[in-house]
Structures are given as C-alpha cells and as structure tokens.
Amino acid sequence: MKKIIECVPNISEGRNQEIIDACANAVRKVKGAKLLDVDPGKSTNRTVFTFVGDPESVVEAAFQFSKTAYELIDMTTHKGEHPRMGAVDVVPFVPVANVTIEECVECAKKFGERVGKELGVPIYLYEEASTNPDRKMLRQIRSGEYEGIKDKIYKPEWKPDFGPQEFVPKSGATATGVRFFLIAYNVNILGTREQAHRIALNIREQGRSDDEPGRLKAIKAIGWYVDEYNMAQVSINLDNYTITPPHVVFEECAKDARELNLAACGSELVGLIPLEAMLMAAEYYMEKENLFLIDEKQKIRLVVERLGLSSVSQFIPEKRIIEYMIDEGSNEPLASLSVRDFVELVGARTSAPGGGSVSALIASLGAALGAMMGWMSYGTKKFESIDSKMRKFIPPLHTKMKELISMIDADTNAFNDYMIAMKMPKNSDAEKSIRHTKMQEGLKKAIDVPLKVMRISDSCWEWMIQMAKYGNMSSKSDLEVGAKSLETGIWGAFKNVEINLPQIEDNNYKKEILTEAENILENAKKNLSKVINSLAKR
C-alpha cells in the first residue's frame, strides 16, 4: 500500500494572489506530490495550503514551496491578525495512510535540516518532532511572534533546531513538526445556539471546567447557529480520530439531542477526511445493524447515509476522502491494464512482466473464484441456512484477492534495488564491498516478493476448503478452477524464489527460505486434493 503523508504549511500572505499562486505552483511541479487545497485569508493575511504525497515527495514539495515563499514574502512589511513568526510560519507533517508518526518526524527533521542549511532560515521543531518540553507546543515557540524573535533567538534556550541562531528580518523563523490528522466536523441540531453549545460542553474533553470534564477525549467543540442553514450546529475539531472518531461524536450528539427533545439532523464534514475514519464508521454500523458489506464503495455509502453527510451539501467521496483524491492508478500500472493489454504485454519482446507477475495474477484469480462461490451461496432464500458461514468465508478470500492483485506490480519492481546496485561504482575495494552488499540485499528483496505471493496464497486454503464443504454446488467447477489456479500461482511463485536462491551467499537464509517455500508448495498439492475430493463427495 502506498504511503501517504499530508503537509499543511501556512504562509504569511493572504492578499497577493501572485505570491499565493507561485507557492501553489511550486508544489504542483514536484512529481509524486498533489496539491489538494489552497485557503487564503485576507483579514488574517495568511494562506493555508494542503498537499499530500509519499515521504520523499512531500518533503521535496515542502522545501520547494518554502523556498518560493521565502523569496517572495518580506516579513518586515507584513501585517495580519493571525499569530505568525515567519514568511513560512508552520509546516506540519501529518500521517494519513500506511505511515507512522516516527516516519513523519523524520520528514520534519529532513525538511528542517535542509531549509536551515540551504536557505539559512531558523527552524524550530514542535509537537511530536520536539523533545524539548519548553518548546513542544506551537504557542510556546510562537510566543512574541515575529516581532519578538530578534530578542529571544540569541538566548541559549532558544537556539533553533536547524539553521542559524540569528534574526533573519525578511524570512523570520519557521516551525515544523508532526501532528495527528485534524478532522473538522459539525453535527446539525434543530435547536438554538445555546442548546447546541450545551451539547458541545457535554462531549468536549475540556467540558465545562476542570472539575466537570466532558465525555469524549481528544476533541474540542462549541455550539453556534448558522443562519444560512437555518439550524444550529455542534462544531467539533477531532484532534485524533483514532481516539474519538466522527461516528462516536455523532452518536453522542444525537443522544444528547434526544434527551433535550431536539433532532440531530445529519452532519457536515469541513475539509478532508482519511479513508480509515470512514471505514471505522462503516465497521461500527455494520456491527450495530448486523450488516454484511464487502465492497468499499458500499461501506462509504452506508457512512454517508448514517451520518447524514449530505444533509447540508452533497458529500462526494472523490472530493472529500484523501486517498480517493490521489491517482492510485500509476502506483499499479500493470494491474490497471485491460486483460488484453496485460496479456499482449506479457507476450511482447520484454522481460517484464514475466512469470512472477503472471503467478500473482493467477493466484489472485484463484482467491477470486473462491469468493465468487461464496457470493453465489449468499443472500438467496434457498441457501439462507448457510448465510452465517458465507459471512465468515467470503471476507478473507476477498481480502487475499486484493493483496495478490497488488503483488502483480510488486513482482515487476522486485529487481529494482538489485539493478540499481549493479550500476554502483566498483573502483576501489570499499566501493566493491558496498556494491556487493547492496546486490545481495537486492536479491533478497527479489526473493521476498514471490515468497509473499506464496504466503498470501497459502492462507487462502482454509477458506477454499470451507467453500468446498458448504458452497453452492452450481459453482463447483468455478471452485475447482480456483483451487487449481491457486496451486498454479504458488508453483509459479516458487519457481521465482528458486531461481534466485543460488546467487545468495547467506546459507542460513537460503536454507530457511527454501524450507518454507517447499512446505508451502507441498501444502498446496495436499489442499488442492482436499478441495477436489470434498466437492466430489457431495
């Protein structure tokens, strides 16, 4: 899965459109980064940008963005209502998908180090990136704002984490760090501002006072009335949706509204939301209502309906869910081809895609046919007695199918590290040693990919056997083809493991990998027979 990090830098300029456009274009020019939003504020004289990308791309985009802003913005003439201390005021990195807080901290440090060294701007780390308790909160670092930097930056305790310990009048200073993804979310209440605020006080972590905290952690909330909507709202910031997700907030607000004899009338997402938060809500409502949904689009639709996300304006997933706003097709170019194009590419005068990618494809079709038998057995009155079994058997096969599809491209890319190592210099003994080590590491990676195909495929047998015992016999031949495809995919992946092992010099590694691969291969033969025999006995 692709790693996605969000960056939300703020610049001290909200009125000069040419400068705002130049900063936006600096992001657009970076391959792998995607600009999602530009939000200028004239009164605050500040613009908030939002872009996403993989770790390397997002750091590069943040650097090019900042370089442009430092060149065009002069803090000596800046006036604005919002607290600020630099031309580029703050550059937070936010984990969105398949990345850890620690990885984002590394991004903040790489960005800060490069800006400090190449652009000569003082950089302070904050929140998760900072280990200094006196300089952890952004408000601590911003204290005194731009006008106060020239006095405090020379104090020992205010030495920047990166860059010069000196006042740079034109650029000021910049804070960079890591925070969790903030979700701005409003719950609609058919009532007064005071009633909405009463609910806000009940649920927000701060509550009414230190002696009377609210029920939910990691959220801030107030109540207000929106004339345009002709209703009140509980306006909420979710500081960490893994602690308190939107669906929990909605249910708590709705409960309090009912106790006040009010109606909670849907909700409104302000800005963007990670896919994970939507799927968490889907799982909640599926369990609560005993629903069986596999398709991701159906899960999203369920959440939109249950939370009333289209109550104020239409909720369009492709424009609100971060992962959906990023073009994933380029990340899996082979898997995104038509069947005809893929087959013709395999048959072309090129070494890739080859047997490894084909093995992953065949294995994915095996899992898919297993899931297909499940769907042919579920949801009809004739087979109602086995619905509960199919609810257990279909999801793992569906998941394994998706994982194997991703391995089609992974196999083609498996040799990249090895080929890069082959091109490394070898003019000295030291260079030869490094090159040799990298080549060995590259070979192990090339082995790991088909081995992973074998492992994923091997984990399908349990469910294929269950399908053979209980599934709709009108799909008997489909499951037989699926089981044979799964075994063939495993055999093909084994051949890709086997061909690269002789070049590995680590004998313990070779022995361990070969033993595991041979066991999976043997297991495939036995389980294929189990599926075929189980179907034959029925």
**Residues marked as catalytic:** 82, 411
The beta-strand segments (E) located in 111-217 are 123-127, 174-178, 183-190
Q: Is the peptide bond before 353 cis (omega within 30 degrees of 0)?
A: yes
Q: Which pairs with CB-CB distance under 8 Å and at least 24 residues apart come from 21-30?
A: 22/68, 22/72, 23/47, 23/49, 23/65, 23/68, 23/69, 23/72, 24/49, 25/68, 26/61, 26/64, 26/65, 26/67, 26/68, 27/51, 27/61, 27/64, 27/65, 29/64, 30/57, 30/60, 30/61, 30/64
Q: Are 371 and 394 in contact (CB under 8 A)?
A: yes
In angstroms, rounded to a whole number, what is the distance separating the alpha carbons of residues 333 and 66? 32
- Please choose, from the candidates 418, 443, 412, the residue with its C-alpha nearest in 3D space to the C-alpha of residue 346: 412
Q: Is 350 exposed, middle or buried (0-12, 13-18, 19+ CB in 10 A)?
A: exposed
Strands 10-11 and 88-97: antiparallel
Question: Which residue, among 131, 90, 91, 89, has the nearest Cα to 107 in the 3D structure?
Answer: 91
CA distances from 319 to 308, 325, 484 (A): 17, 6, 41
| Cα–Cα distance for residue pair 86/76, rounded to 1 Å | 10
Do 500 and 466 contact (CB within 8 A), yes or no? no
Which amino acid, one-letter code, is at 260?
L
Q: Are strands 219-226 and 174-178 parallel, antiparallel or unpaired?
A: unpaired
Q: Give the span between the Cα atoms of 81 and 98, in whole angstroms.
A: 37
No. of helices (H) and no. of strands (E), the chain? 19, 11
The first and second tokens of residue 266, run together, are 């849907």
404 CB-near residues (< 8 Å, 6+ apart): 360, 361, 363, 364, 367, 453, 456, 457, 489
Residue listed under structure tokens 């080859």:
354
Phi, psi angle pair for 34, to nearest 5°: -130, 125
**Of 141, 181, 145, 144, nearest in space to 161 by CA:** 141
User: How many Å apart are CA 88 and CA 62, to the nearest integer?
Assistant: 10
Instruction: Name 183's bridge partners.
Output: 238
